[in-house]
Amino acid sequence: MRKLLTKVYHHQMASTGLAGIAIVLGTADVLHAFAIIEKEDVFKKTPCPAFLMFENAAYLADMSFELPCNCKPEEVTSVVWYFQKNMGRHRTKVLTDFDGTLVVDSSHIKRGVDMLRRFSIRMFSLIVFRVQVEDSGHYICGTKKGDFFYGYDVDVQTSKNIAVAFADEDQHPQKDFNRTHFVVFTVFWEWTKCNRCDVRGEQRRVGLCYVQSPYLLRRYRTTIPEVASCGSKSVPKQFRGVPNRKPEVVIRSCMAPCRKKMSSMGEASISDVISKLGEKPWVPDIPIQFHKQSLGTGLIIACPGARPEHAVAWDKDSTRMYLTRFLTGVNKSMRVFIDHGNHLHIRFAQMDDRGVYYCWREGQLVAGFRLAVVYESRHKRSIDDPETQYAIKAIFTSYVFITLLFVSIHIVRCCVYAFRCTSVE
């Protein structure tokens, strides 16, 4: 069943438009624009349903998605996209400037920014960048007059506390959850590319939560009958959160060859000779950025042009930072780790964190960060600093614990004293 549902799920993602338009990537591989493909007008062949239905689509948090307006009258030259968290409520967001020309540069999008500043409309399609769990809901394509043509039921599943399985350590994904009226299981995407080349790398496979039940609401359209994502509005309220199944990711080792770049034979020969003689250490032909970080402060490094769905790897100098050791959640006391969005985190920078951090994207070495850790004697902390917040939380927790312990001791002493007085009488 898993293989069949995986194939159908990919067909669903294609139908929702992830492969419907060509994404033009710049030199830093950042989403800048969408190319318009010359093709036959699909609106002439796709009639709108007489009764508005919603197509189910699921994504992982921090990813971007594109929803095409699959049908509309030929005379309509611009569309308006509406967002509604739950059907029947009057609170609705209008995601357009009413001309369909609003453009957003995804390189400027940060996590947590309101959805009204994270979307773009191209050729009647809605693109939302870095989606969050609160972006789950109904997306409707229509006009500013209130005519509705096509709808989506979008389920954004959290990337926090995601279940991780390492295939090399003989770990397995979560088991299916079977009940009388429904079955909860995981649908996996395809394996990513190997995140390194010519050396041992790693691959990821993301899985999202799905439910199968004959009691799904009929107003929601799914690729496979009676199968929808766990956060879909088609799932009856009695089933939601039973169980509270997490998305999961499976990681395994891989090997892939590098794509050889064309270069001058003379330059390559001279470089090889000098390197072999030990006079010139090998330095990768990639841009390297210098950064100075204060001792004891936190730092987050992002790989240029990388998105959460990309295959990304990190190295420090000649040391490979494999996910089996550095993925967040592997160790609760990790100071240096890689999150599920492929960012490298360094908490409370130390002197031994100095070095060059190399970033791999889709199996190619793309950038380096030379980190210098310095001591600043006069550093004013603000309440927004993560270290300050951590210290405040630790002090407050310690105070509450000591207070409870003090009160408990006195309550016990009072009870013992009262018991002795009663015994004496």
7-22 pLDDT tens trace: 444 444 434 333 333 3
Q: What is the mean pLDDT of residues 322-341?
A: 88
**Mean pLDDT taken over the chain:** 78
The residue that leads in pLDDT, 282 or 365, is: 365
354, 187 in Cβ contact below 8 A? no
Can you tell me the distance from the alpha carbon of 52 to that of 411, in angstroms, rounded to the nearest whole number? 64
The residue that leads in pLDDT, 70 or 241, is: 70
181, 198 in Cβ contact below 8 A? no
Q: What is the mean pLDDT of residues 346-358?
A: 93
Q: What is the mean pLDDT of residues 290-298?
A: 91
Q: What is the mean pLDDT of residues 376-380?
A: 64
Q: What is the mean pLDDT of residues 216-232?
A: 88
| CB count in 10 Å sphere of residue 307 | 19
Identity of the amino acid at 187: V
Q: What is the mean pLDDT of residues 230-242?
A: 80
329, 161 in Cβ contact below 8 A? yes
Least reliable range by pLDDT among 65-74, 78-87, 280-289, 319-328: 280-289
Confidence of residue 119 (pLDDT cuts 50, 70, 90): confident
- In the DSSP assignment, the letter for residue 337 is E
Task: List, in sequence order, every residue forming a beta bridge with 321; answer none if it has no partner.
Answer: 314
The residue that leads in pLDDT, 282 or 275, is: 282
Q: What is the mean pLDDT of residues 213-229?
A: 89
pLDDT of residue 73: 82
139, 83 in Cβ contact below 8 A? yes
pLDDT of residue 107: 43
| CB count in 10 Å sphere of residue 239 | 16
CA gyration radius, the chain: 27
Can you tell me the distance from the alpha carbon of 240 to that of 157, in angstroms, rounded to the nearest whole number? 13
| Short-list 338, 305, 343, CA closest to 322 | 338
Buried b (16+ CB within 10 A) or exposed e, 209-224: bbbbbeebeeebbbbb
Is 100 a residue whose pLDDT tops 70?
no
Q: What global pTM score does this model have?
A: 0.66
Is 359 a residue whose pLDDT tops 90?
yes
Would you say how long the chain is, in residues?
Answer: 425
Q: Which helix (H) or strand (E) holds 168?
A: none
Q: What is the dihedral of CA 291, 295, 298, 299, to 10 degrees?
A: 10
Distances (CA, A) of 313 to 244, 348, 354, 370: 30, 22, 18, 16
Is 56 a residue whose pLDDT tops 90?
yes
Q: Tens of pLDDT along 132-179?
A: 899 999 999 988 888 888 999 999 998 888 889 999 998 888 888 888
Peptide bond into 284 cis (omega under 30): no
pLDDT of residue 261: 58
Confidence of residue 121 (pLDDT cuts 50, 70, 90): confident
At 292, phi and psi to the nearest 5?
-110, 125
